[in-house]
Amino acid sequence: MKHKDYVNLLFDRASSAIALTSGPKHDEYGRSADTLENWKVQARILGCAPEEALRGCWAKHIYSTFRIIEEAAKYGIVPDRAYLNEKMNDMHNYLFLLEALIEDRRKDIEPYQAESDVPKG
């Protein structure tokens, strides 16, 4: 398999995994209709912005990712695929949650007129 094909396969798999976990993960992130509720409540408890609350939780996943990089680069140790997939999906999810928090903040400034206004990439 060519490297380009493998990278495309990874992107496709990540997109599918994110779509599959977004439903089940919804309840973890908040019990109301607002998926961002967890971060807003944490922010109130911590006296910070929701994005900062997310950053604190995300840091654990960043550290795990850095460990994967360090172990591979220094020792040639690679994690099993299931673990690597889980960690990469977590990182993707935090990026999407950060984007959602920022867009949630923006809605008061410039609300989307239609679904077609949502950025495509």
Q: pLDDT at position 28, please? A: 61
How far is CA 37 from its chain centroid? 15
Q: pLDDT at position 103, please? A: 86
Q: Can you list the residues of the chain whose pLDDT is less than 70?
A: 1-6, 8, 10-11, 14-32, 108-121
| Phi–psi pair at 114, nearest 5 degrees | -155, 165
Task: Establish if 49 belongs to a structural domain.
Answer: yes
Task: Establish if 56 belongs to a structural domain.
Answer: yes
Instruction: Report how far residue 98's alpha carbon sits from residue 96's, in angstroms, rounded to the nearest whole number.
Output: 5
Task: Establish if 120 belongs to a structural domain.
Answer: no
Task: Establish if 114 belongs to a structural domain.
Answer: no
- Looking at the structure of the chain, the number of domains it has is 1
Q: pLDDT at position 26, please? A: 54
Q: pLDDT at position 104, please? A: 87
Q: pLDDT at position 105, please? A: 86
* Residue among 107, 73, 88, 79 at smallest CA distance from 13: 88
